[in-house]
Every structure is written in structure tokens, then in C-alpha cells.
Structure 1
Amino acid sequence: MAAQYSIEGATAKGIAASVERGVAEGGLAPGDALPPVRRLADGLGVSPGTVATAYKELRRRGLVVTRGRGGTVVAGAPPVASRRPPRVPDGLVDLAGGHPDPAFLPVLRPPAAVTPVYGSHRAAPRLAALEELTRTWFRRDGVPARHVTFAHGALDCVARLLSTELRPGDAVAVEDPGFHHLLDLVPALGLRTVPVTVDGEGLVPDALRAALRGGVRAVVCSPRGQCPTGAFFTRSRRDELVAVLREFPEVLVVEDDHNAEVGGAAAYTLAAAGLDRWAQVRTVSKHLGVDLRWAGVACDATTLARHDGRMLMTSGWVSHVLQETVVDLFTDGAVRALVAAGEQAYAERRAALIDALGAYRIRAVGASGLNVWVPVRGESDVVNGLRTRGWWVAAGARFRIASPPAVRITTATLAPADAVRLAADFAEALGDGQATYGG
């Protein structure tokens, strides 16, 4: 435990709150060990059972993890507050955010006039026009679209699905490395993350089978444009994964196809395979605009009922003004042409950086999506080295659970000519790091 922070409390609730306060304020850092149960109980003058109850609650909420003989330690990314991205220092080229190039996003034009309605839209939450466009969008890639609904973005949908399907303490299989916001969300819901290895074709079947045999209740993955590696399912990999999942028909499979329009990869999805429990969520933030908090969801009938039942009790519906805006964008030919141009540019920019790094024998991956993932020995050395050379990239730690170190570079706005300069600076930064480690 960090020497500068002293845990307080006379009840389990008070002790848990004290630990949470220490984490939130920085007195307890990720990896810091909490005192053994009996030692803390003696120090606070409470029973060991009271401390054990506090630790159990902290584990349930994802604030701490237990490592066998290693004791109880603060989790690597404790969900006590949202982790907003750090401010990009002045003068640096921002390649850390994972955002699309604004040049390939349309100008948003909400409806000019919105007629007032009496009451609410709970009785008819979805515009018929957008519902039909959503069905067509999914069917284009072979995804069953008999049951569709809307959400306020991918994470909003995933959170609702997991919270209605699972109970605190249940396990969720996630990609490793994977989407950092999802890695924060799962423990924040009181669930346990089980990392599943990812290679160039997505989830590794043997790793997924091991997680399922370990008792996970849900799987969350991306069929293409995987964050942060850019992996995508091939037909053969999809079929292998389906064969594994059919052994566990009760498990809910959630696909996040957030890069459906600009991923640069074909759609071989689990959602098209006829699984018993499944959902696929598609958002428009990567190709129509980050401020469009709308997602389309296709799923089985049970999942639809649970999702919409919970939504009915909370936000009720997605704004019809927002829905009308999305309808107009979906049906605009000029917008479709702009999105297609963006997909081509993103593919060229990913390839340019991978090739430029390859010239220095630096291995990088990024077969689809907006990012390139570069394995390194020391993340901080590379991040800091590139910072001194004018580049701002993301350390891989926030995307990893057990996978090796790397950095993520968003190439969406990186011109091919600039990729050559970045690769040269990257090679120099690696050299600086090797010198630090003694070669």
C-alpha cells in the first residue's frame, strides 16, 4: 500500500469508500497493495469479516483485484471516474485520438423545423424511415435484420446489453488488446474482464474457447477495424469462432462494427452466422460525425426485448431530431461519395505508415480501421521520444490487459509524406530507448 495514504472506516461501506477516495485522489495508484485483511482489521479495530466484506465490494466494482499470494491490489484502470484523454500539448501533431479526418465528414444539417408533439415518443421511439434504412444497412452484409433498434452510441448499447443480461461478478470476454473505453466500462458495471488474445484475424479461437470454458457469460468483439490493432475477421476465422461459440449457445455475443463504412475490410461477421444470442451494433461517428450519438442495433428477439425494456425506463428513445438528421445523411448521394473517398484515403494512410516503418524493420499492423499498432519494448520511451520530435501518440497500456507493450498511432489525418518523417523519428526514438536499456 502507498505509505502516504491511510485507509479509514468503521464499517465495510466506510472502508470501501475510503479506498475509493484514495484511488480517485491519487493516494492509491494502480498496482498498490492493500493491507492483508487481518492487519487492516486490527489497525481499524473492526472484525476481519468487515474488512473482507469491504474488499469483496471493491472487487465487485472493479476497483481492486486479488492476485492469490500477491494479495489485493488496486486495479490497473479502476473505474472510479471517467478517464478523459490528456490534452494534446501545443505544437504537437495529434495522432493519439482515434478520430476520423474531418475532411471526410459531411456538414451536419439538422431539420430546419421541428414540429412540437404532445407527450413523448416512448410509444413510437423509432422513425419508420430510419428503421428501414437500418435494416437495409445490416442486410447488405448478411446480418439478420428482423429485429432492430436504436441506441445512443456503441458503448451506450453495450452497457445496456451487459447490465440487463449479466449480474455483478459475471465475466465478460474482451479483446486483448482492445477498446480502452470498453475495458473501463466492464468493471464499472461490476463485471469481470477475461482477456482473449487477438491476432491479425481477430479473436484467437483457442483463447476464446478457454475463456468460455472458464464461465464467461458474454463476449464483446469487433469484426473489422478492431481497436487498436486493425484486425478483421476472415471468412475462415469467422467460421472457426462460430464453431467454438456453438458449444456455448447461452452466451451473449456482441459485435461492435463501428468501422462498418470506413474499415476497409469485408464483412465476415458472427452476427450473420445464426447464433442463438447475439447483437451487432453499428455507429455513424467514424463516417458521419463524432457528435452524432446514434447507433443501429440488430439482434435476436430476447436481446431486443431486454435492451428496449431497459431503455424505456431510462432515456426512452433517441432524439427524433437526431434520427431525422441521420436519415438525411444516409440518403444523400454526395455524402456516400465522401464516405467512400474517406475509406480509400484511410487505407492508403495506414499502408503508408506501415511501409515506412517497415523500411526501418519496425513491425506494425493495421489492416483496417483508422489506427496502426506498433509493438515496442518500452512504451513511455517511444511516446516521450516522439513527443520531443513533435508527435503525440498513444501509449498502448490503456488498451492492454495481458498483451505485450505497443503504441497506437491514428493515421486518419497522416499524409503519406508525413508518414516517412514519422517513421524516421520513430526509429530514432527506438534507438534512444535501446540506449537507455543498455542496448
Structure 2
Amino acid sequence: MATQYAIEGATAKGIAASVERGIAEGELTPGDALPPVRRLADELGVSPGTVATAYKELRQRGVVVTRGRGGTVVAAAPAVASRRPPRVPEGLRDLAAGHPDPAFLPDLLPPVRLSPGARSHRTMPRLPHLEDTVRGWLAEDGVPAGHITFAHGALDLVARVLTTELRPGDAVAMEDPGYHHLLDLIQALGLRTVPVAVDDEGIRPDALREALRAGARAVVCSPRAQNPCGGHFSRRRRDDLLAVLREAPDVLVVENDNAAEIADAPLHSLTGGDGPPPRWAHVRTVTKYLGTDLRWAAAACDPMTLARHDGLLLLTSGWVSHLLQETVHGLLADPATRERVRQARDAYAERRTALRTELAARGIPSHGRSGMNVWVPVRDESAVVNGLRTRGWWVAAGARFRIASGPGVRITVAGLRPAEASRLAADFAAVLDEAQATYGG
């Protein structure tokens, strides 16, 4: 138990604030045990119920966790810092950032139709012609589009939906490995992450069922171009997942279709099949193929989720810029842009296939059936990352994508020409051979 920090307070609120202050100042660190309820109550001259209420508040907000006979301890620190990618060393080929190839991004020209002056954003938060475009876009893939909303990017939208539905300390089922920014977001919101294993068809039904039994109140998943593994739902996998979700009708389901137009895979959405779950949201963004500066996302969702999201949006940022909406609409409606996006989709598929083929030829298994990333399981992430660094490549260590799954590295193939795949695969094989000789496997 930590003895260097004296918890203070005469009320539950004051005791909780004292614990948080100790954590913020570094006096209490992850894993440190807090005093038992009765002992701290005696020390502070308050009732055991007051201390128990303080601990309960801290537990609900994810600040502490209870380990049965192990008592109450400071929770693991949010891994925000550790999940952020390190700076790319000078002179290395960056295959770690996850960015699209700039050659396939359209020019971002501001619209000219918006006149200066005030507009009634609150009475018309979404431009009707962009709404119509989005409804058609979603309907083409079989997503129910009767209720849609916009936000400032996928993370903004997911955060607002989860905030309106869950309380700090609630559990969320997350892909493992999964998108590191979403994993960070869950912790930043004070929610708990429950890992759900993935394979080449996305999240596994058996793993999802275990997560729901463990108390997950929401599920966040990718129906295609899963990041970092590239899996996508087959129709059968979608139906199997829906069967699991029917066992938990109160669970909120959030689909993050972040790379829709460049995924190179059909959409088998959880909103399809025999119908969507009672509470759901299907989220789409355009940053991966229209431009990383376009912080815009759309979502189709059930009526209650729409009302709660839009109510909170109104009280925070208020609306999504009409200037941004006009820019997105212009690009989505532009035939030349659509052709460039199609070219990007085909190029990423070719580059992904080329690398996986070259790796397989050297006996190296990999994953990446859709999207622009390839995941390669390895025994020692650091050895592989550092070994490839000496050969001029910079790939992403898998630690920031993982919760409980095994190690690996993510390679973004968006800018990797097919002719370069053979050299990268050869270097990868050489690095693995060196690691085996050094560490014995």
C-alpha cells in the first residue's frame, strides 16, 4: 500500500478529490492500493459509508478498480501517450502513419455558393442537398437512412454517442487489435475496454458473446477495412454477429465504416440482415479518400440515438460548418473525384495484395483482406521495427493497437508501389532471421 500520500477530506467528494489530486501529482501511481474503507474512515474521523461513497464514485469514473480481496487500487493510467506514434526518423520510408497516398486525393477548393453573413445553422444544421446525397450513399449499401446526422469526424461522433448512452466505468467491447485512437478515446471518456478478438472476417462471434457476458454495454466495430488487420464481414459473419447481439438487445452497436469507398470489399452491415439492433449507429467519414483536413462524418442511427446525439451537439459545438458541408458535397457529387477515389481503391488493393504475396512467398503470414493496411504477427515487435529501420523502412509497432492480443506490426501500403513489395518482404524475412539467430526465435 502507498504510504507516502495522506488522503484527506471530510466528505465523499473531498476524499475522492484528494485521491485524484494524489494521482495527478504522481504521489499515487497505477496499482497503488488505497486504505481499506474502515481504516481510512477512522483516520479521517468520518463514517465508513462516506469513504465507501467516495470509492464508489472513483470506481464509476474509472479512477480506481476493486480487486476483491486485493482491495481498491489505482487504475492503470490511460495509455494515450504510449499509443501515440513516435516521430518518423529522418530519411526513412514511412509505412506507419496510416495516411492515404496524396496522389489520389482531390484538390480541396472552397465552395463559392455560400454568401457572407449570418446563417441559421441551429434551425438548419445539415444542408438538405448533402443530407440527400448521404441518404443515397448509405442506401446503396443497404444501410437504413431514415435518420442521419453529421459531426466533426468519426471520433467526434462516436464520442458523443457513447457519452449520451454510457456512464464512466461502463464497459465497451472493442476490437483487439483495434484502431488506437478509438482505444484511447474509450479510456479518455472514463469507460472500460473489453477486448474482442478479430480474424480476417472482423470481430469473432464467440469473443463478442464473452464480452457481452462480461458486461459490455456497447460494441464498437468495423464492418470492413478493419484497422489494423484489414478484416471485413462476410454475410455469414454478419448474421452470426446479429444472432449474438439479439441475446443483448439493450447493447448499443456502433459501426465505424471509416474507409467505405476504398475498402475494396462489399458492406455486410449489422444494420442489414433481418434488421438493425434496437440501438445502433453506422458511422462514415471521408478523410481517407477525400482529404485528411475534412473533419466531417455522417451517421445513420436509430431515432433515440439521433435525438441524444443532436441534443448534445447543439449544446456543445452547435453544428457542423456549412462551408465544410458544401465542400464535402461538392466532392461527393464530382465525377472526377469519384473516379480518383475508384483509382485509389484499386491501387490500394493491388499494393496490399503485392506485399502479402511477397511475404507469403517467404513463409511470412499476414492479414489484410481490405483497406490499406497489412498486419503481420511477429514474436518481437521491437526487433522487427528496429531491424526494418536499419534497412530504411518505418513500420508501426503493434503495441498501440493491442489490448490482450499477440504482438505484430502494421504496415500501411497506401504509398508502397508493387515493385517495392519484394524488397520490403526480403528485408522483413532477413530481420526475422536475425531475430531468431539472436534470441532463439
Q: TM-score with structure 2 length normalisation?
A: 0.90
Which residue pairs with 1:34 in the alignment? Answer: 32
Which residue pairs with 1:258 in the alignment? Answer: 258
Q: Secondary structure at the match of 2:216?
A: coil
Provide the rounded CA distance (Å) in 2 between the counterparts of 1:406 and 1:204: 19
Provide the rounded CA distance (Å) in 2 between the counterparts of 1:55 and 1:396: 34
CA contact (8 A) 2:284 2:299 kept: yes
Which residue pairs with 1:249 in the alignment? Answer: 249
Alpha carbons of 1:35 and 1:214: their partners in 2 closer, same or farther (altered >3 Å)?
closer
Provide the rounded CA distance (Å) in 2 between the counterparts of 1:34 and 1:414: 46
Q: CA RMSD in A?
A: 2.7
Which residue pairs with 1:384 in the alignment? Answer: 386
Provide the rounded CA distance (Å) in 1 between the counterparts of 2:259 and 2:350: 16
Alpha carbons of 1:199 and 1:324: their partners in 2 closer, same or farther (altered >3 Å)?
same
Provide the rounded CA distance (Å) in 2 between the counterparts of 1:421 and 1:47: 70
Provide the rounded CA distance (Å) in 1 between the counterparts of 2:83 and 2:195: 20
Shift of 1:388: 1.6
| Of 164-173 and 47-56, the range deviating more from structure 2 | 47-56
Aligned-residue identity in percent: 63
Shift of 1:326: 0.7
String of CA shifts for 1:92-112, please: whole Å, max 9, x gaps. Answer: 111111111111110100113
Gaps of 5+ in 2: 10-14
CA contact (8 A) 2:78 2:188 kept: no
CA contact (8 A) 2:359 2:425 kept: yes
Which residue pairs with 1:201 in the alignment? Answer: 201
Provide the rounded CA distance (Å) in 1 between the counterparts of 2:51 and 2:156: 34
CA contact (8 A) 1:220 1:255 kept: yes
CA contact (8 A) 2:82 2:400 kept: no
CA contact (8 A) 2:83 2:400 kept: no
Alpha carbons of 1:408 and 1:83: their partners in 2 closer, same or farther (altered >3 Å)?
closer
Aligned length: 429
Among candidates 8, 12, 23, match of residue 19 of structure 1: 23
Among candidates 334, 345, 368, match of residue 343 of structure 1: 345
| Of 136-145 and 49-58, the range deviating more from structure 2 | 49-58
Residue identity opposite 2:35 in structure 1: V
Which residue pairs with 2:95 in the alignment? Answer: 95
Q: Secondary structure at the match of 2:193?
A: strand
Residue identity opposite 2:255 in structure 1: E
| Of 100-109 and 413-422, the range deviating more from structure 2 | 413-422
String of CA shifts for 1:267-286, please: whole Å, max 9, x gaps. Answer: 10102242221110100001
Which residue pairs with 2:8 in the alignment? Answer: 10
CA contact (8 A) 1:7 1:19 kept: no
Which residue pairs with 2:12 in the alignment? Answer: none
Alpha carbons of 1:357 and 1:225: their partners in 2 closer, same or farther (altered >3 Å)?
same
Gaps of 5+ in 1: none
Which residue pairs with 1:294 in the alignment? Answer: 296
Alpha carbons of 1:437 and 1:84: their partners in 2 closer, same or farther (altered >3 Å)?
closer
Provide the rounded CA distance (Å) in 1 between the counterparts of 2:395 and 2:148: 37
String of CA shifts for 1:274-310, please: whole Å, max 9, x gaps. Answer: 2221110100001100110111110111111111111
Shift of 1:387: 1.3
Provide the rounded CA distance (Å) in 1 between the counterparts of 2:256 and 2:64: 27
Residues 31-70 of structure 1: pairs in structure 2 closer than 5 A: 33-35=31-33, 37-38=35-36, 59-62=59-62
Q: Secondary structure at the match of 1:220?
A: strand
